Structure 1
């Protein structure tokens, strides 16, 4: 089944844009395909899991599961942000097991295992292990929580299980140098976040996020009047990222010309004049999703959780100057409402497509030129799947 799907994905990705069509439905529904992604494909990729502003102080942590791995994003006393395993080195206990009242974020001076009270410092080194004095040869200085490979790119924390993967800054250098570097997102701050447990496959969300064609349908009263679908266009294909231009309506562009900026949050400093006349959607393959405007940025933390499910955190980032402005509270209220309204509009479509993918009536459909980002994503998926199949050392199967 996996080999057949890879062949079908490759055939779909090989079509020219003028003949492009959707992927086979099984890539959104099949348990074996999900297991292949979880065990062989996605662990080789860089996944964005946090922004540094979410853990600003020593001891600040985020608790999350990534492809089944229990992780903590934590800032140490040395100021370094690390991604540590939550698995105790004693008996394998999750330090903060799901469903038992542990917070998804907080601040701790020590990481404490609730099972036998082994404790670790913020770097993951074992500090205390009660009643281990009779364990011959036991040396607590040799015990440390596993540290996942992580890197910070433009303020975002990325993690991978591939020790040989090129640095994320190398992979996304073009995206930084040509586009998002102007925003200085390493100095931005996450000022709002909302978590969604979602009943649709992660790839459906990526595809929906990137294409502006659905503005005229799902977002006819929200985004379509602001950034009409027919004016949008996509940058030439890059193997590691996608960039789509969303020009603002003529009325809003004229407003930007008159005032030098649009209403709302104070813009990010250092932008070019044309940056005030359009929005962007960016994808760093496979799941780094940014919806970027001149005065605010929406980042989606997307974590696959199962065949047809994913965990999503929608966030809003603004500049430090924006937080100090007199109109900050009004802009915050308006834009946090917008992000929820827009996402709920997307949920209707995403859940509908997930149900449709399981139907006997589902068949590949043709794509519009406005869905070119989906075509780019398909081509990345075909390459990634073929790499994973040729290099995997795991048994592929529906193991949960």
Structure 2
């Protein structure tokens, strides 16, 4: 349940928690997660201004393929137009302001479900029934507002901020870090949307540390997770990451024999990338999966969940079966993560909740808190 609180006061509590060195750091104060006023600051200073990932470009392969999302209260359409370009635009009709498209699919034009005003894929109004008697109406004056949309290494990002630095510029260090994985050439095999009863930051932090794996995931991957093999370096301004080594028994997590880009332990290294504010990618040499998060109030998070395989594996006869088995495992892991993160939110909603000190394996969480305070203080 959301709690009342003063936004600047909560920011001050968060700043105090991040002003100390990591070696003395604690978890973020409970009010950072549970107060409406802090969420309002996140919407204003983060989700209204930063890049938000809507998924993979290969999920929109042909003209008219579209998906919809909501970003900081703005309904958005992302589609591939007739020229093959990805574009984003408002998903609100310019007549009586109904939303237009819903979910994902393919369309030859954008037709309002309320009065059938019809727009071309580039957002220009094509037709509007029974408007000939309105002397002020001019069809050519109507076009859906266009929204910034960029593709980076196969990911599709949108932003409401016309002044946001290009994605490729902000994430140049990520591109260098995982160059040998050739992330552009991974193909999405599944996509789902979920809503969990937890704060978006609880789920983001859960992804950012693998300290919880042996306990939270005791029934699935916990036994394969070795704490002494996890590496958690300091984060950078636009992202943090940590790495773990996969067991060679999970073959599609290893670099394919045809992959000569990765050497030695790189061939079994998994990167867990947290790209701010809310794109979380598990990237192995053979497969990937991701979460893209958006808050639905302090106590709920909307999740865009997808994954697939490196194209290095596409011609292997057993690759699809291996990936199907992996997807079943990921579903079980998600059940465990949902249970853990919803318990965390219930706990931090208590007036008795107090943040404890962080493990050295939770370095990314400290960097995430530092990022948050830098943005909401603007």
TM-score bin, normalised by smaller chain: over 0.9
Q: Map 1:52-131 onto structure 2 (within 5 A).
A: 52-96=57-101, 102=102, 104-131=103-130
Does residue 229 (structure 1) correspond to residue 227 (structure 2)? The answer is yes
Aligned match of 1:356: 347
TM-score normalised by L of structure 1:
0.88
| Contact kept in structure 1, 2:147 and 2:160, CA below 8 Å | yes
Aligned match of 2:51: 46
Given candidates 179, 185, 188, the residue that maps to 2:183 is 185
> Hey, what's the Cα distance between the residues in 2 that align with 1:161 and 1:342?
33
TM-aligned CA deviation for residue 321 of structure 1:
3.9
Aligned match of 1:347: 338
Q: Cα deviation per residue 1:80-135 (whole Å; 9 max; x = unaligned)?
A: 11111110111211113xxxxx5x11110010012211100111111111122222
TM-aligned CA deviation for residue 137 of structure 1:
4.4
Aligned match of 1:397: none
Given candidates 301, 324, 327, the residue that maps to 1:336 is 327
Q: Map 1:172-321 onto structure 2 (within 5 A).
A: 172-179=171-178, 181-248=179-246, 252=248, 263-264=251-252, 267=255, 269-273=259-263, 274-321=265-312
- SS in structure 2 of the partner of residue 272 of structure 1: coil
Range 71-80 or range 268-277, more displaced: 268-277
TM-aligned CA deviation for residue 29 of structure 1:
1.2
Aligned match of 2:364: 373
TM-aligned CA deviation for residue 264 of structure 1:
2.9
TM-aligned CA deviation for residue 248 of structure 1:
3.3
TM-aligned CA deviation for residue 63 of structure 1:
1.9
| Contact kept in structure 2, 1:47 and 1:288, CA below 8 Å | yes
| Contact kept in structure 2, 1:151 and 1:157, CA below 8 Å | yes
Runs of 4+ in 1 over 6 A off after TM superposition: none
Aligned match of 2:141: 142
> Hey, what's the Cα distance between the residues in 2 that align with 1:320 and 1:237?
29
Aligned match of 1:384: 375
The answer for unaligned runs of 5 or more in structure 1 is: 97-101, 256-261, 388-400
- SS in structure 2 of the partner of residue 122 of structure 1: coil
- SS in structure 2 of the partner of residue 220 of structure 1: coil
TM-score normalised by L of structure 2:
0.93
| Contact kept in structure 2, 1:199 and 1:309, CA below 8 Å | yes
Given candidates 19, 32, 45, the residue that maps to 1:14 is 19
> Hey, what's the Cα distance between the residues in 2 that align with 1:3 and 1:10?
10
> Hey, what's the Cα distance between the residues in 2 that align with 1:89 and 1:267?
50
> Hey, what's the Cα distance between the residues in 1 that align with 2:261 and 2:108?
40
TM-aligned CA deviation for residue 265 of structure 1:
6.8
> Hey, what's the Cα distance between the residues in 1 that align with 2:329 and 2:151?
29
Q: 1:270 to 1:302 in 2, by over 3 A?
A: farther
> Hey, what's the Cα distance between the residues in 1 that align with 2:111 and 2:224?
49
RMSD: 1.7
Q: 1:288 to 1:361 in 2, by over 3 A?
A: same
Q: 1:117 to 1:359 in 2, by over 3 A?
A: same
| Contact kept in structure 1, 2:67 and 2:78, CA below 8 Å | yes
| Contact kept in structure 1, 2:76 and 2:91, CA below 8 Å | yes
TM-aligned CA deviation for residue 11 of structure 1:
1.1
Range 121-130 or range 224-233, more displaced: 224-233
Number of equivalences? 370
| Contact kept in structure 1, 2:117 and 2:128, CA below 8 Å | yes
> Hey, what's the Cα distance between the residues in 2 that align with 1:183 and 1:120?
40
> Hey, what's the Cα distance between the residues in 1 that align with 2:10 and 2:260?
46
